[in-house]
A and B are shown apart, each in its own frame.
Chain A
Amino acid sequence: MTVTEDAATLAPAKEVGQPRRRKEDARLITGRTTWTDNMVLPGMLHLAVVRSPVAHARITGIDVSAAQQAPNVVAVYTGRDLAEEQGSIPCAWPVTADMVNPGHPSIAVDQVNHVGEAVAIVVGRSKVAATDAVELVDVDYELLPPVLDLEEAVADGADLVHDQLESNTSYHFVFDAGEAGTGTDTEQAFADAEVVVSRRLVQQRLIPAFMEPRSVVVQPQGDNYTMWSATQVPHVLRVMAAMVTGIPEHKLRVVAPDVGGGFGGKLQVNPEEILCLLLARRLGKPVKWTETRSESLMAAHHGRGQVQFIDIAADREGNVKGLRVRLLADMGAYLRLITPGVPALGAFMFPGIYKFPAYRFECDGVFTNKVPTDAYRGAGRPEATFAVERIMDELAVELGMDPLELRRKNWIKAEEFPFTTVAGLEYDSGDYEQATQKALELLGYDELRAEQKRRRESNDPVQLGIGFSTFTEMCGLAPSRVLGSLSYGAGGWESASIRMLPTGKVEVVTGSTPHGQGHETAWSQLVADQLGVPFEDVEVLHGDTAVAPRGMDTYGSRSLVVGGTAVVKAAEKVVAKARKVAAHLLEASEDDLEFADGKFAVRGTPGASVGIQEIALAVFAAHNYPEDVEPSIDAEATFDPVNFSFPHGTHLCAMDVDTDTGMVKIRKYACVDDVGTIVNPLIVEGQIHGGLAQGIAQALYEEAVYDADGNLTTGSFVDYLVPSAADLPHFDTANTVHVAPGNPIGAKGVGEAGCIASTPAVVNAALDAVRHLGVSDILMPLTPERVWRAIHQGGDGGDRATAGTNAYGGAQTESTAGVSTPASSLGGDR
């Protein structure tokens, strides 16, 4: 969309829908910020973490004596010192009753299971002193063979990540539509099918790479503790940290001050958060830990990491008959907060927008000697969308059909909403045809197809491809009862309260904790409309469990849909309470009052009115209010949705592929997203842009690569390619609006849409450009090296050159020489 006018000049009748500039910006553009690492407290000590340089080993000895004697070092702790009190990092999502969870120490005691795992902590009077002394801690490791490849990890006789377990499989999760009663028998559908297409697709590991490194400060005050953390989830963190450490929940306050991005990467109970709490308790002093970028890439959780075996059944006319998915999902070395749940969340989205009569999903959660995976923007849904959008293209090729025609033949029609899918989800509203038509126009589809034909006929070295992704996603996490049925450990409600201050100003408390999304602005718009007060008169408070005591925080495109609705419901209660006071002050019946533009007026009596902001002062003074009510019009509300919301859209990518060099370049990217009602078009467009950047980055640039020994070779921003402005195209974005029926705002959620939809559009575009040259798959990211090899040598482009080697030369590091297996030295990046 295009923002054409300044909101202020429009004198808006309604705030919702206005491109309000953000309230948050004032402090962020001037450097008056409160990042956790900015914090300095009297007597504060600094922590530095000694991390394992090997992927899998027994710890046979740790000598901390030299570090202890280093200048300005206060103490050094090993896992042994903290073993009795550290408990286990919690996993809130046991997806099956028999899921195996080996436990997750915050600091290794006897054994390390991934490079970057904490083995000792140095406490210093300054960060420099602590960091210097890290080099002085001497750890002896007895090396064990690293388990790195998912398919090898589940093979018979595989080495074990956790030798006390029977296998590397944590769980086997199955959803079978036939058994669930939401579809027909899948095996039969495949047996009867005229056409079956099968593919093995790879979802590489990604790193969330939020710009603000993680940082934690803990201040002990007697038996009370305050933790400031760069977290998305202060409320979840408080509950979990209390359970892990035994510090009573009411003695622990958690604050998320300004937080510099999360993308799921800060939806976690981090080992370092627990360690800071334990050491602040032990030392009785405030402590701070801030990670380096290298630590972040190595030790903060990763995302994705799946091998997908997907089969699609259809008839010759292109009617889909069945879908079968088997996943190997990389858990990494341990289960963190929702590690096992991420692929399970995707289980229900593989059918996408298509009317499959039969569907079966199976997933093995597999341990490897890598840092744990967990939520990353989309969490399960990008993986599912990628698989179904890729396999639809493969089926189209098999059938000789236009990929758009195949999609159109099978997608849910506008008049069929609400539609219950084969996975049992009730899609709420939308029109896939309308979004697609609009996207085709935005792209200039016909002209690009004509150019593609010309280039193909002239055998141009630069070939053009067009890729589709017609997607939906499941947002607004989440209905608490549904989460319960999926064995998730908590609910998905959200809380809000509204305080009417004596001067008529309004404080809105939200349990949904922002880290860049613009809650302060959007919530102000909602409240301004609901209460009829000026946008500027609203202040939104969040992110501190002492200020906003109840909340479920921000993830899963839930904030506006669930948290915003809680705000609206609280505002409705404020108006209802104010109505009683207004009736009393105006000496009128409540039924005769009309509430509009912030004023209660007596119907048919011009001039008899009182404003809601005046009522706030009246109940503060409390000299004159109804007998049967309390002198307050403040209110709070908790909203628990009954269904998810389902944003959808059509994303189109036009891609140039240089067949001589393997270089790919996005020529044009057009997308039309339906996210329901748009509260702030500026914020919605920004969320789409950011999502696109991350989804495109998965397709073209990013991959967490481990070498044959389990070293992360993409351990800095030199090697892990977060795209720059020069790496990304201009995006042409637009919207259709089909209001979500499940919440009074009508919003569906926008935070993840761009990230979920874009990856398959980009890969499909590249394949469309070179398929006539015999290429049917290229592994992500589509590096020039891989694209060139796929074109000139066949296959899927293979591993990256660095995959089986150490980033700094040689196939093996000195420390791990002799433990690489022949198989792993062939390439351990997946």
Chain B
Amino acid sequence: MTSINVRVDGMSYSDDVEPRTLLVHYLREQLGKVGTVVGCDTSNCGACTVHLDGQAVKSCTVFAVQADGSEVTTIEGIAEEGRDGALHPVQKAFHEMHGLQCGYCTPGMIMASIDLLRENPNPSETEIREGIEGNLCRCTGYQNIVRAVQQAAGEMSGADTLGAQA
């Protein structure tokens, strides 16, 4: 067992973990952060995507010990702090644009999209499609996810150019 200190969604945790424990299993099984889910075992689907020190990572591809001393943000921690029911603009856009159906890929898809918009605040359709190609969705055919990212980009840059039209 190895001791780690991690901040997850603004809370500090000190835990003992097996060195082989994956970050996603630590989050789900030790911290009860079950908003982050597992969809595959080969790091293809991206359902487990979280932010590690602000960058999107597939938490099935990171050992919990690698997160020692780091800040982890999950889908449960992105809404505006202190405001119950408040949503991150990307969460809001996924809802507005019907960017989800079963919702299983959604946490990872939202976390990947936030990171995409951090790196490229005004992406083209092609840049969005390529930017989220590490995240698989089986329900939506991606079109409304693309619309959602476009809508969120507009809102986050302050220019609501797309609005409800998409």
Contacts and interface: CB of A to CB of B under 8 A. Distances in A.
Interface in B115-166: 125, 128-130, 132-146, 164-166
A603 to B, nearest CB: 41
A212 B102 contact: yes
A485 interface: no
Interface stretch (B51-59, B61-69, B73-81): B73-81
Nearest to A293: B40
Interface in A740-777: 754
Contacts of B140: 686, 689-690, 693
A33 B105 CA distance: 12
A4 B165 contact: yes
Interface residues of A, number: 62
Contacts of A30: 35, 75-76, 79, 87, 91
Given A2-B165, A3-B164, A689 B143 contact: yes
Contacts of A38: 28, 34
Interface string A26-46: 111111110101101000000
Contacts of B105: 211
Given A3-B164, A293-B39, A725-B146, A31 B44 contact: no
A213 B164 contact: no
Contacts of A801: none
Contacts of B45: 211, 293, 717, 722
B12 interface: no
Nearest to B105: A211
Given A21-B98, A29-B110, A35 B41 contact: no
B129 A31 contact: no
Given A24-B103, A211-B104, A718-B42, A29 B141 contact: no
Contact of A693 (B29, B76, B141): B141
B153 to A, nearest CB: 15
Given A21-B96, A717-B42, A35 B104 contact: yes
A5 B74 CA distance: 32
A680 to B, nearest CB: 9
Contacts of B110: 29
A516 B102 contact: yes
Contact of B132 (A37, A292, A725): A725
A683 interface: yes
Nearest to A230: B104
Nearest to A38: B34
A294 B41 contact: yes
Nearest to B104: A260
Interface string B76-119: 10010000000100010011101011111111001000000000
Contacts of A258: 103
Interface string A491-527: 0000000000000000000000001111000000000
A726 B133 contact: yes
What band does the interface of chain B fall in when counting residues whose beta carbon is under 8 Å from A? 35 or more
A516 B75 CA distance: 19
A333 interface: no
Nearest to A28: B103
Contacts of A209: 138
Contact of B138 (A6, A31, A683, A722): A722
Contacts of B91: 29-30
Nearest to B131: A725
Contacts of B106: 28-29
Given A261-B104, A686-B144, A725-B133, A32 B35 contact: yes
A417 interface: no
A724 interface: yes
A209 B29 CA distance: 24
Nearest to A290: B38
B142 A518 contact: no
Contact of B41 (A21, A716, A727): A716
Nearest to B79: A30
B8 interface: no
Given A717-B136, A724-B129, 16 more contacts: A4-B164, A28-B106, A30-B75, A31-B107, A33-B103, A35-B104, A37-B34, A260-B103, A516-B101, A686-B98, A689-B140, A689-B141, A690-B139, A717-B40, A725-B132, A730-B125
7 closest cross-chain pairs (CB), A and B: A31-B35, A28-B103, A260-B104, A516-B102, A689-B141, A693-B141, A717-B44
24 contacts: A4-B165, A21-B95, A25-B100, A27-B103, A30-B35, A30-B79, A30-B91, A31-B34, A33-B37, A33-B103, A37-B37, A209-B138, A211-B136, A212-B104, A261-B104, A293-B42, A516-B101, A689-B142, A689-B144, A716-B44, A717-B42, A724-B132, A725-B137, A725-B146
